[in-house]
Homo-oligomer: A and B are copies of this chain.
Amino acid sequence: MSQILKPEPLTYERFLPFGDVIEARTDKAFGINQGYTDRFHHLASIQLDDEGSGIISLFRGRSRDYPLPITMLERHPLGSQAFMPLDNTPFLVVVAPPADTPDPQHIRAFISNGYQGVNYHRGVWHHPLLTGAPEQDFLVVDRSGAGNNCDEYYFLPEQIPLLVT
């Protein structure tokens, strides 16, 4: 029988082994611009190897059918990758800790409240974008540069977890 993955609410503490949660945390805030702006400072660090540079892109994702078999995960060994929803809509995140191959027993699933983004740290295994709407746009901050920056791992049939909503 397949392992069932039920998304848990995304929090900073729970996501620490995988990366950063990008959200308006009051403990990170201070005023700038003569009081007209609150800056929630340095919520995520852009991680790069020596050959890479940081770039900004947009991703437009389309929804999948659930329950969703998690047949594969990917990782970016040379840089972090951040996703921020642009319409305040919840979305799903499936991750596994850095390792040569992702351990199916250590996969975690999270749901963003729609005002939270995530920054996957270098080497963290994660599922490609899982939208919370039929079509959903995200700002993405990741790496450009020489070298292979995407590994994919496909699970054996008996290892495939099932993501429920």
Contact = CB atoms under 8 A, between A and B. Distances in A.
Interface in A86-109: 86-88
A117 interface: yes
A2 interface: no
A56 B46 contact: yes
**Interface residue tally on A, bucketed by range:** 35 or more
A61 B41 CA distance: 14
A112 interface: no
B59 A53 contact: no
A82 interface: yes
B141 A141 contact: yes
Contact of A54 (B20, B22, B54, B128): B54
Contact of A84 (B20, B34, B139): B139
Interface string A29-53: 0001110111111111110100001
Contacts of A32: 128
Contacts of A16: none
Contact of A59 (B38, B44, B88, B144): B38
A120 to B, nearest CB: 12
Contacts of A48: 54
Given A24-B137, A84-B84, A139-B22, A55 B42 contact: yes
Interface of A: 20, 22-24, 32-34, 36-46, 48, 53-62, 64, 82, 84-88, 115, 117, 119, 128-129, 137, 139-141, 144
